[in-house]
Amino acid sequence: MDIIKEKVEELVAAIEDSSEYQNFLAARKQVDLVPGLEDKIRKFCWENYELQSSDEEGLYERMEAFEEQYEEFRRNTVVEKYLEHELRMCRMLQAINARIMDVVDLVI
């Protein structure tokens, strides 16, 4: 198990050193400079998640209304950069997880 812990720490260090993570941190610092912006981004992300997870009738209309509601918000360059870099981090972490799950044959 010691080798696993060692490799995990190496992976964490590699993630911290990556340009993806550094860009994400820079974008997050910009968000932190605007009072209340982090809460607005979290609200946007949560509502987007709920919408994407929904299979209710009228989904198309709800998606259009959501996009219209947040159109101006998404034009904010600080918000857009943050969301872009957050997405890149999520994709990197998903790829790491997928690679591990490809090797580990768990039935879940």
2-103: CATH class: mainly alpha
**What is the SS3 assignment for 104?**
coil
What is the rounded distance in angstroms from the CA atom of residue 66 to the CA atom of residue 79? Answer: 16
Q: How confident is the model at residue 55 (pLDDT cuts 50, 70, 90)?
A: confident
Q: What is the pLDDT of residue 12?
A: 97
Confidence of residue 105 (pLDDT cuts 50, 70, 90): confident
Percent of the chain with pLDDT over 70: 99
**pLDDT interval class at 73 (50, 70, 90):** very high
Put residue 36 in one of left, alpha, beta given phi > 0 → left and psi -120 to 50 → alpha. Answer: left
Report the predicted TM-score, pTM, of the whole model to 2 decimal places: 0.84
Q: To which residue do tokens 């209340």 refer?
A: 36
Q: Read off the pLDDT of each residue in 22-44 and give the average, rounded to a whole number.
A: 97
Residue 5 CB: number of other CB atoms within 10 A? 9
Report how far residue 67's alpha carbon sits from residue 61's, in angstroms, rounded to the nearest whole number. 10
